[in-house]
Amino acid sequence: MSTSVISPAELADSLRTLRAQTPLVQCLTNIVAAQWTANVLLAAGAAPAMVDNPEEAGVFAGVSSGVLVNTGTPYKETYDAMRVASAAAHSAGTPWVLDPVAAGGLPVRTAFAVEVLANRPMIIRGNASEISGLSGGAGGRGADSTAAPQEVLDLAHELARSTGAVVAVSGAVDHITDGERLVRIHNGHEVMTRVTGVGCSLGGLMAGFAGVSEPLLAASAATALICVAADNAVATSQGPGSFAAALLDQLALVTPEELEEKVRLS
């Protein structure tokens, strides 16, 4: 695994820095995942703040360490807030993450996601269908992917090159690319898809890590942390309910040393 472009030690350092600095993460996300995303960020060591109204979203993006824009349940007012926040983040140099939930499957939000690409997200995170949909291809079924990351790898590389963003495609094996370099993470477990908002919260974690590390490392560290935490949590849980609680525990308990030891990169 020595061939990976990012080393386990770099991931561990990024987690160390996150916990030392507690980055402030502004989340503009959906009503389903808002609580879970805040709890994931708190457990991992970041400070979430859900400022998602148009009057305050821009000011706050200027003082945040990272911003998440997630299109899970968009309304007129939160669309406006996402526009304002992403523009303000771009102006202020605050890294922001775009999670284009259900892009490709629903034309209105696909168009919105394409529109805010102009505000230059540092990371674009989605499942294979969403990355395909954002690139003009077919979408998935609701929020679920109907494809695997490796099937959209060419689209992901192309999207990264055309937008300048790191593109992170989640799935059984997570694929993360900046258009040239590719990081694959082999941890994680199928039960993660049986708890709502795990993917959404990963976008929040990426925004937190982007406040302390460069984008490719940030997206990789966030993914590695939640996947290693999930590996641990599966071992002590009986089903999706106890798994969700154990996952939050593990996000707080996994040490940088443990992350370095357990992450499986290629």
Stretch that binds its own copies, among 56-64, 87-95, 173-181, 215-223 (CB under 8 A): 56-64
The verdict on 250 binding its own copies (CB under 8 A) reads: yes
Residues 194-223 that bind its own copies (CB under 8 A): 194-197
Single residue of 242, 255, 257, 266 touching its own copies by CB under 8 A = 242
Q: In this structure, what token pair is assigned to residue 100?
A: 């284009």
Q: In 93-152, which residue ranges form alpha helices assigned H by DSSP?
A: 107-116, 128-134
The verdict on 50 binding its own copies (CB under 8 A) reads: yes
Going residue by residue from 123 to 142, which x/- string records binding to its own copies, judged by CB under 8 A?
------------------xx
Stretch that binds its own copies, among 87-95, 155-163, 180-188, 234-242 (CB under 8 A): 234-242
Q: Binding site annotation covers 50?
A: yes
The verdict on 31 binding its own copies (CB under 8 A) reads: yes
Q: Binding site annotation covers 197?
A: yes
Instruction: State the Cα–Cα distance between residues 254 and 13, nearest whole angstrom.
Output: 13
Residue 201 near residue 231, CB atoms below 8 Å: no
**Which residues have a Cβ under 8 Å from the Cβ of 25 and sit 6 or more positions away?**
41, 46, 47, 48, 49, 64, 65, 66, 67, 68, 204, 207, 208, 211
DSSP state of 154: H
Amino acid (1-letter code) at residue 245: A
The verdict on 106 binding its own copies (CB under 8 A) reads: yes
Taking Cα atoms as reference points, which of 250, 235, 227, 247 lies closest to residue 173? 227
Convert 38-101 into a string of H (helix), E (strand) and C (coil).
HHHHHHHCCEEECCCCCCCHHHHHHHCCEEEEECCCCCHHHHHHHHHHHHHHHHHCCCEEEECC
Single residue of 244, 259, 263, 265 touching its own copies by CB under 8 A = 244
Largest CA distance in the chain: 48
Stretch that binds its own copies, among 2-10, 155-163, 172-180, 251-259 (CB under 8 A): 251-259
Stretch that binds its own copies, among 33-41, 165-173, 178-186, 256-264 (CB under 8 A): 33-41
The verdict on 255 binding its own copies (CB under 8 A) reads: no
Single residue of 9, 115, 144, 172 touching its own copies by CB under 8 A = 144
Q: Which residue has the tokens 């599966």?
A: 234
The residues that touch its own copies, with contacts defined as CB under 8 A, are 24, 26, 30-36, 38-39, 42-43, 47-53, 55-56, 59-60, 64, 72-77, 102, 106, 108-109, 141-144, 193-197, 237-242, 244-253
Residue list for the binding site for ATP: 125, 170
Residue list for the binding site for substrate: 50, 197
Residue list for the binding site: 50, 125, 170, 197
